[in-house]
Amino acid sequence: MSLQIGGYQLHAIEEGRFGLDGGSMFGIIPRPLWSRTNPPDEKNRIDLALRLLLLTSPKRNILIDTGIGKKWSAKEQEIYKISHDRFTIEGSLATVGLTVSDITDVILTHLHFDHAGGATVLRGEELAPTFPQATYHVQAGNLSWGSKPTMRDRGSYLKRDFQPLVDQKRLELIDGPTELFEGVHLEVMEGHTFSQQLVRVTDGKTTVFFCADLFPTTSHIALPYIMGYDLQPLKTLEEKQRILPRALDEGWILFFEHDPETEAATLKLGERGIVVDQGMTLSSPLIKCFLPRASHFGSDQGAGTDSN
């Protein structure tokens, strides 16, 4: 049984797994601290999920983000530790009785390759939309930036992931925060990259917040734990300080796209600030399915700063 919010059933959809450099994932935080909860491999990569959120209703099947896709060379797969051995988009959709052709809408939080890589697929020699019946939705500001990124982040924006959608007029551009569909709200964040849109699904009683790259893992609940990839880290800090108290006060369920262990979690107020309360799955939202990894505003929150 999946979580029901308004007219939607919510399902976690696993697209695959990959790995990124742990130092890059945690910015100024020293390895002895972040490695406690995110052990790296021999190449300093930490394991990361490619976990998507699917909203199903009688009228729409809405997929939030698309994972990393399969348009990778063997060398690239090794660099990023990309694996579809356990999970594929087709296999995960099949568990809820759907195929890629059943998806009516794809909300792309932003166009980085680990979020939009699965938006297109090679069919023969041609790139085509992975979801042939879907309208794709992205912020206009993110498309504008991703089409002409800087040298610092051009490796994250690969035109093969989104240019075919533009060319085939399958990409609907959104300008700012909005309620895209009833109960499906888009919140625009500027810290990680420009015009990242995070999705908040609510019926006024229950709220699920798709964290994308504001809180890629539960460890990133801690305020100083900000990715080295972020273009405006101080903006990310401001956004975290704004979202966390609201999520706590309103009892949101946070849904983690990249945490390899924890699918979703609620928050609570601990001795040193806001902390992860309990891990859960959308199929058992009221059951503590496993212990979340340490994530708190405690002594480690100041790691890498001069606030001792």
What residues of the chain score a pLDDT lower than 70?
A: 1, 285-308
Residue 2: what pLDDT?
85
Residue 284: what pLDDT?
80
Residue 285: what pLDDT?
67
CB distance 256 to 247 below 8 Å: no
Query: Position 293: which residue type?
Result: R
pLDDT, tens only, 67-114: 999 999 999 999 999 999 999 999 999 999 999 999 999 999 999 999
Residue 293: what pLDDT?
44
Residue 272: what pLDDT?
80
pTM here? Answer: 0.93
Residue 278: what pLDDT?
85
Q: Domain residue spans in the chain?
A: 3-302
pLDDT, tens only, 152-174: 999 999 999 999 999 999 999 99
Residue 138: what pLDDT?
98
Residue 301: what pLDDT?
47
Residue 287: what pLDDT?
46
Tell me the C-alpha distance between 286 and 17, whole Å: 26
Residue 271: what pLDDT?
85
Is the sign of the CA dihedral 192, 199, 158, 165 positive or negative?
A: negative
CATH of domain 3-302: 3.60.15.10
Residue 1: what pLDDT?
67
Tell me the C-alpha distance between 308 and 268, whole Å: 25
